[in-house]
């Protein structure tokens, strides 16, 4: 048990990086993959042990394929754990996806598939990191997604501050948190407890490697500043295509092509040198919806959405991507912008289902460095969600638990 009044400080090397992209690229005909809790207005695939996640996706081939899912338990770094299936699931870790329905009255035909986890045949028995893969009839993985299951053994208090580093005072946000452990005996917190901090539930810039700075009674205190700082970024850009036949929020023009609608967004301009402007967003998430149908899962149509970006800076040696939860934050050729010399713009187009979308422009340098502020800038006032996950691996244990979760938001940032 942590001794009351004991003060401890630890020097450490904190790491901020993206975990390996264990999911891989999605199959071209699989679109609109959503893995989220059943609760309304919940987007991150993080649930308490026993609570349900909903997985839905569309198959644009629309020919009633047979798909199955496979669940694997992972270590903290998302590598596969050594546990046998019987050690983390009651029932079957693999099963067929039985719920599917064809689209109705859409130009783009598709079949919508759905499954909940846990269900009658698959019940998870322990907390931790998990990977769910969807396989076709040939047992080929068409896509995979991560999710986290936690058990509430500790509580976590989270607060967001402006950076105390004068160089980043107006551009970064720092996360401080406290882990409360009144009902647990932790023999070596510095080695057994491993928190992870996420900004807007994006694992690409997750912060790991933190050790508790102080012990106070049954509390572990993490009062870092520089080591827990994130670029604040800017509010996400957005558009709403719920009315696919007409222009609306941030949509300049809509045209009906030979097969599908073409949705042209207004040209975005770099915001790094512009004043910060507050407007509401959903922190990189998206919501499928349309005005004309009763069930957006099957009534919402697809259209080609055209993105364009005007920038004055020299981005030689860097690639530009449009990114968000809608494409699992992946930076791949599908969502990379190409330079149109005749127009002087960076452009790309994506096939997206009707709905409300948040997106941002991300640069990637030749050395692999990813930046969310090269184009859109970074302002301490930006509203961001922060999540602290508490991982626990007791000495001698064969797997890592997730024993608590805490949430913070920068809307009421501390100075």
Transcribe 27-91 into DSSP letters: PTTEEEEEEEESSTT--SSEEETT--EEEEEEETT-S----EEEEEEE-TTSSBPS--GGGTEEE
pLDDT band, residue 21 (cuts 50/70/90) = low
- pLDDT of the residue at 315: 83
**CB atoms closer than 10 angstroms to residue 304:** 16
Burial of 246 (0-12, 13-18, 19+ CB in 10 A): exposed
Write down the pLDDT at residue 5.
Answer: 42
**pLDDT at residue number 415:** 78
Provide the pLDDT confidence category of residue 280 given band limits of 50, 70 and 90: confident
**How far is the CA of 227 from the CAs of 9, 30, 165, 364, in angstroms?**
14, 39, 11, 22
Chain Cα centroid distance, residue 177: 21
Q: HSE on the CB side for 308, CA within 13 Å? A: 15
Look at residue 240 in the predicted model and tell me its pLDDT. Answer: 95
Average pLDDT of span 243-267: 92
**Which pTM value belongs to this model?**
0.92
Please name the helix (run of DSSP H) or strand (run of DSSP E) that holds residue 339, with its range, or none: strand 338-340
Q: What pLDDT score does 404 carry?
A: 97
pLDDT for the residue 312? 83
Contact (Cβ atoms closer than 8 angstroms) between residue 238 and residue 357:
yes
**Whole-angstrom Cα distance, residue 133 to residue 141?**
6
**What pLDDT does residue 142 have?**
97
- Mean pLDDT check: name the lowest of 274-278, 311-315, 324-328: 311-315
E strand or H helix at 130, and its extent?
A: strand 128-135
pLDDT at residue number 16:
55
User: Would you say 99 and 113 are in contact if contact means Cβ atoms under 8 Å apart?
Assistant: yes
Measured CA to CA, the distance from residue 107 to residue 62 in angstroms comes to 12
Alpha-carbon dihedral sign for residues 145, 150, 154, 160: positive
Helical H segments across 203-300, by residue range = 296-299
Instruction: Report d(CA 261, CA 251) in Å as an integer.
Output: 13
Question: Comparing C-alpha atoms, which of 174, 96, 203, 188 is closest to residue 139?
Answer: 96
Residue 179, judged by CB atoms within 10 A of its CB (0-12, 13-18, 19+), counts as buried
Report the percentage of the chain scoring pLDDT > 90.
83
Mean pLDDT to the nearest integer, 260-281:
93
Confidence at residue 9, expressed as pLDDT on a 0 to 100 scale: 42
**pLDDT, position 15:** 53
Q: How far apart are CA 242 and CA 249, in angstroms?
A: 10
- State residue 266's pLDDT score: 96
* C-alpha of 199 from chain center: 9
pLDDT for residue 25 = 86
Given this model, what pLDDT does residue 64 score? 82
Residue 314 has pLDDT above 80, yes or no: no
CA distance 3 to 216: 7
Inter-CA distances, 364 with 234, 316, 323, 373, Å: 17, 11, 12, 11
The CA distance from 271 to 47, in Å, is 35
The pLDDT assigned to 249 comes to: 78
Position 364 pLDDT exceeds 60: yes
Average pLDDT of the residues in 367-374? 92
Q: Would you say the C-alpha torsion 331, 333, 339, 340 has a positive or negative sign? A: negative
Instruction: Please determine, for residue 158, whether its predicted confidence score (pLDDT) is greater than 60.
Output: yes
> What structural domains and CATH numbers belong to the chain?
237-371 (2.60.40)
Share the mean pLDDT of the chain. Answer: 92
pLDDT at position 58 over 50: yes
Give the pLDDT band (50/70/90) at residue 292. Answer: confident
Q: What are 77-125's pLDDT values in tens digits? A: 999 999 999 999 999 999 999 999 999 999 999 999 999 999 999 999 9
What is the reported pLDDT for 3? 42
Tally of residues, the chain: 415
Q: What is the DSSP letter of 13?
A: -
Whether the predicted pLDDT of 12 surpasses 50 = no
What does the pLDDT read at residue 2? 45
Max Cα distance, the chain (Å)? 73
Edge to edge, what strands does the sheet with 99-102 contain?
30-37, 53-59, 111-117, 99-102
SS3 149: strand
Measured distance CA(374)–CA(384) in Å, rounded: 18
- Helix ranges (DSSP H) in 151-250: 189-192
């Amino acid at each position: 048990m942590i001794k009351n009044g004991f003060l401890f400080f630890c020097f450490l090397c904190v790491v901020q990086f993206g975990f390996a992209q264990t999911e891989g690229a999605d199959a071209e005909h699989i679109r609109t993959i959503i893995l989220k809790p059943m609760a309304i207005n919940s987007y991150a695939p993080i649930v308490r042990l026993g609570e349900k996640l909903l997985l839905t996706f569309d198959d644009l081939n629309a020919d009633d394929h047979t798909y199955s899912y496979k669940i694997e338990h992972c270590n903290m770094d998302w590598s596969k754990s050594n546990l046998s299936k019987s050690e983390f699931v009651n029932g079957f870790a693999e099963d067929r996806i039985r719920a599917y329905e064809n689209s109705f009255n859409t130009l783009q035909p598709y079949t919508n598939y759905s499954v909940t986890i846990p269900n009658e045949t698959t019940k998870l028995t322990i907390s931790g990191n998990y990977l769910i893969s969807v396989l076709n009839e040939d047992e080929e993985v068409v896509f995979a997604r991560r999710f986290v299951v936690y058990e509430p053994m500790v509580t976590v208090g989270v607060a967001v501050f402006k950076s105390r580093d004068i160089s980043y005072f107006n551009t970064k946000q720092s996360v401080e948190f406290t882990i409360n452990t009144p009902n647990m005996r932790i023999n070596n917190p510095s080695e057994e407890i491993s928190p992870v901090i996420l900004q807007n539930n994006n694992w690409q810039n997750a912060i790991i490697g933190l050790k508790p700075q102080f012990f106070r009674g049954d509390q572990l205190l993490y009062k870092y500043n520089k080591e827990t700082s994130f670029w604040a970024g800017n509010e996400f850009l957005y558009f709403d295509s719920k009315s696919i036949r007409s222009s609306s929020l941030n949509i300049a023009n809509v045209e009906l092509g030979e097969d599908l609608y073409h949705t042209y967004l207004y040209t975005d301009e770099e915001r790094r040198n512009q004043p910060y402007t507050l407007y509401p967003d959903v922190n990189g998430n998206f919501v499928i919806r349309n005005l004309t149908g009763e069930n957006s899962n099957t009534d919402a149509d697809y259209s080609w959405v055209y993105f364009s970006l005007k920038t004055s800076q020299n981005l030689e040696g860097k690639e530009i991507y449009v990114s968000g939860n809608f494409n699992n934050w992946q930076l791949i050729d599908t969502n990379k912008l190409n330079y149109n010399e005749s127009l002087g713009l960076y452009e790309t187009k994506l096939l997206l289902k009707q709905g409300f979308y948040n997106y941002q422009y991300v640069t990637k340098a030749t050395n692999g460095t990813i930046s969310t502020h090269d184009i859109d800038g970074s302002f301490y006032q930006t509203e961001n969600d922060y999540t602290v996950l508490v991982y626990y691996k007791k000495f001698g244990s064969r797997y890592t638990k997730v024993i608590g979760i805490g949430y913070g938001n920068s809307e009421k940032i501390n100075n």
